[in-house]
Chain A
Amino acid sequence: AQKITQTQPGMFVQEKEAVTLDCTYDTSDPSYGLFWYKQPSSGEMIFLIYQGSYDQQNATEGRYSLNFQKARKSANLVISASQLGDSAMYFCAMSPNFGNEKLTFGTGTRLTIIP
């Protein structure tokens, strides 16, 4: 069975600073995908970034990057130059064997950006 662990229930970060949200995972599948989603107070789930287990380079999407450390089974999200609009819940998720039907979510981290 697969498991996602997000150990930071909440974080407060000063505006314009970089922030790292932690995510560790556990799976016995050699092939898997890792995702990060953002959930603002309005409630919708917004896809941020994806990393495949065989990808050699860390994924990047604008101000978002995924720090993928396979040996440590970690997939931390890094947000550079944080903005007030980054305040939201952030969920890490994993699809074992690249299967969306088995997508498992972590419990989330609530990020608050302080002006």
Chain B
Amino acid sequence: NAGVTQTPKFRVLKTGQSMTLLCAQDMNHEYMYWYRQDPGMGLRLIHYSVGEGTTAKGEVPDGYNVSRLKKQNFLLGLESAAPSQTSVYFCASSYGRGPGELFFGEGSRLTVL
């Protein structure tokens, strides 16, 4: 039972490079989320999706794009990485809007040089 799986777990980029983080969940959840975690701060929502084919902006969406072409997958893209995007990224999913717990992936550590 995999739950929420994030790929890759670690990545180092140079400023201006692009990359995509993949999140996959096998729980048939409707809602999926991308968060970033920075030192001394709580998790902040980047983008989220309420179902296949939908996306919406969260608290800190600038510099990121997302896609939800399949219900089980939620992709986070960085078109032109900046050092300020150095962070740990968490994907999460939930059955519905709430109330209820979010199920998190193990996190992806991204460093932008």
Residues of A within 8 A of B (CB): 4, 33, 35, 37, 42-47, 50, 52, 91, 93, 95, 98-101, 103-108
Contact = CB atoms under 8 A, between A and B. Distances in A.
A98 B48 contact: no
Interface in B81-113: 88, 90, 92, 94, 96-107
Contacts of A108: 42
B33 A91 contact: no
A30 B94 CA distance: 22
B99 A106 contact: no
B56 A45 contact: no
A47 B92 CA distance: 12
A44 B102 contact: no
A91 B42 contact: yes
B9 to A, nearest CB: 9
Q: Summarize B's interface: helix, strand, loop or mixed.
A: loop
A104 B102 CA distance: 12
Contacts, number: 66
Interface residues of B, number: 28
B106 A43 contact: yes
Interface in B51-73: 56, 58
Contact of B88 (A43, A91, A98, A105): A43
30 contacts: A4-B42, A33-B98, A37-B104, A43-B88, A44-B106, A44-B107, A45-B43, A45-B90, A45-B92, A45-B102, A46-B104, A47-B102, A50-B99, A50-B101, A91-B43, A98-B99, A100-B94, A100-B97, A100-B98, A100-B99, A101-B45, A101-B56, A103-B33, A103-B102, A104-B42, A105-B42, A105-B44, A107-B40, A107-B41, A107-B42
